[in-house]
Amino acid sequence: MLAEALLEWYGREARDLPWRRTRDPYAILVSEVMLQQTQVARVVPRWEAWLERWPTPEALAAAPIAEVLGAWVGLGYNRRALRLREACVAVADGGWPEDLRTLPGIGPYTAAAVGAFAFGRDELPVDTNVRRVLERTGFVPSATPPELGQALMELGAMVCRAREAACSACPVASSCASAGAVVIAPRGRAGDGVRRERFEDSNRWVRGRVVEALAAGGELPEGIELERLERAIEGLIRDGLVRRGTDGLSLPM
């Protein structure tokens, strides 16, 4: 009952996202890795540009690492770009494995997403949206056709959101254990004793600026304390994302 209502709603209301129009495992893998850190609206043009530049796993496998890192700027965690390329090296060498989790950097969620959306397997990729919808509704799917996973994700992203459950407009409200009864904890506020770091103050932000600057072939970013800059650079070198040579810092080739 819930599954039927959900699928009917999904067929009617789903956003037209470009990676939903393909069964190409590489294209779907790229979308999943990009979406781990970045909002859908920002991913769409980046995904399209990426596939235009590297349309196949073989093309990405053959790309210089520095170019891959340069193209990833702004998409978060640069290690993901490296792992994506490593996965493509493995695919270019040996094809898509039966167990996708054997590919570098591919965890259970991404493996299930590619398995379901590209290979049509009966697997349910459980991301935070899907987990929340399952918990709130009490729904336990008896079968998991690929479209059901997409529909659960869409409901979690558009209707049954973490901080706003739009139960009055929800297509599955009549079968949902939590309809009208979702309790959303108030956000913390200044003075509640919980320290929150601005993104610009984080090491991740500094690392991103360093990679961005090196990808552009320019100088290191200005206006960042030397100590923070050095800490970020040391971390990038440790992670294999930056090299220190006799002529200074560079992205790996």
Active site residues: 32
Q: Helix, strand, or coil here: 250?
A: strand
Query: Is residue 5 a contact point for ligand SF4 (CB under 6 A)?
Result: no
Query: Is residue 89 a contact point for ligand SF4 (CB under 6 A)?
Result: no
Judged by CB, which is closer to ligand SF4: 149, or 208? 149
Q: How far is the CB of 110 from ligand SF4 (least distance, A)?
A: 25
Six token digits for residue 15: 């956003």
- Residues in binding contact with ligand SF4, number by CB under 6 A: 15
Query: Is residue 3 a contact point for ligand SF4 (CB under 6 A)?
Result: no
Judged by CB, which is closer to ligand SF4: 40, or 179? 179
| Contact between 102 and 94 (Cβ < 8 Å) | no
| Contact between 109 and 138 (Cβ < 8 Å) | no
- Give Cα 39 distance to the centre of its chain: 8
Query: Is residue 207 a contact point for ligand SF4 (CB under 6 A)?
Result: no
Helix or strand run (H / E) with residue 45: helix 40-53
- Residues 112-151, mask of contacts with ligand SF4 (x by CB under 6 A): ---------------------x--xx--------------
CA pair distance 157, 176, nearest whole angstrom: 17
Judged by CB, which is closer to ligand SF4: 48, or 135? 135
Q: How far is the CB of 175 from ligand SF4 (least distance, A)?
A: 8
Judged by CB, which is closer to ligand SF4: 157, or 182? 182
CA pair distance 126, 136, nearest whole angstrom: 14
Among 166, 184, 216, 237, binds ligand SF4 (CB under 6 A): 166
Residues 146, 149, 151, 152, Cα dihedral to 10°: 170
| Contact between 50 and 30 (Cβ < 8 Å) | yes
CA pair distance 238, 145, nearest whole angstrom: 42
Binding site for ligand SF4 (CB under 6 A): 133, 136-137, 159-160, 165-167, 170, 172-173, 176, 178-179, 182
